Amino acid sequence: MGRMSGKVALVTGAASGIGRACAEVLAREGAVVVLTDVQAGEEVAAGIRAAGGKASFHKHDVTDEARWNAIVAAVDKDHGRLDVLVNNAGIAVAGLVTDLTLDQWRHQMAVNVDGVFLGVKCSLPLMRKTPRDKTGGGSIINISSIAGLRGAANLSAYCTSKGAVRLFTKSVALECAAMGDGIRCNSVHPGIIETPIWGQVVPGSNEPLDLDAMSAARVPLKRKGMPEDIANAVLFLASAESSYMTGEEMVVDGGMTVGTPQ
């Protein structure tokens, strides 16, 4: 308890899944958490407050630069600082390359890539104004995917967007290091995690995805991950415990990218 005391964290896509778990874990460890999402998220913020944490919610389309500026301004007005940014909001557009429309492709890039870019662009000025101790403490955490490390059939748009997040993260890390602003930037790469993003059907099928069967076949640990598994990684990257890490990729996938299950 208390690893994030005195810190303010902004988490996008926080109404459910990984974003919700990140907000809850950061609040549990003492951070004031600002949750945002295009979906309703006030109930999540209220639950954090009921558990003794500090949280607020803002409706937020991450592709809207004006909305980003308004939310960061509200964080500055309400708290006067921003220590942690978790760019978690994302969507998955599945389908064969020949079946994807240009609008679908652009929407995937707008949410998963433009949203992360805008989050960093709009948040950095306030993060740079925030007082730092000798370990720095400013932390940007971009949620990518193992799909940002390797390709997958029927997920060309998603893989492209998550690969972009991976390299954008490294560029921002080097830029911040060169400026000496004490802000670190790392990416997290989840594998099969039980979240609403898996609720889509397999292309060409009317059956929902069976995550347990998929995990048993593809994951060396033979099980799916939970949102808290990613939130715990985010907590580490947000805390001073990871003060010597920047531009890194934290893979949380039960061994999927290590090799073929036996």
Which residue type, as a one-letter code, is found at position 143? I
Residue 252's alpha-carbon distances to 14, 22, 78, 153, 164, in angstroms, are 19, 14, 34, 21, 18
* CA 38/CA 251 separation, integer angstroms: 27
* CA 165/CA 159 separation, integer angstroms: 10
User: Would residue 158 show up in a list of annotated catalytic residues for this protein?
Assistant: yes
Q: Residue 2: how many CA atoms within 13 Å on its side-chain side? A: 0
* CA 141/CA 252 separation, integer angstroms: 14
Provide the sign of the torsion angle of the four alpha carbons 239, 243, 246, 252, taken in this order.
negative
Neighbouring C-beta atoms of residue 258, cutoff 10 Å: 10
Nearest of 158, 162, 164, 166 to residue 97 by alpha carbon: 158
Query: Pick the catalytic residue: 57, 68, 117, 158?
Result: 158
Q: Which residues are known to be catalytic?
A: 158
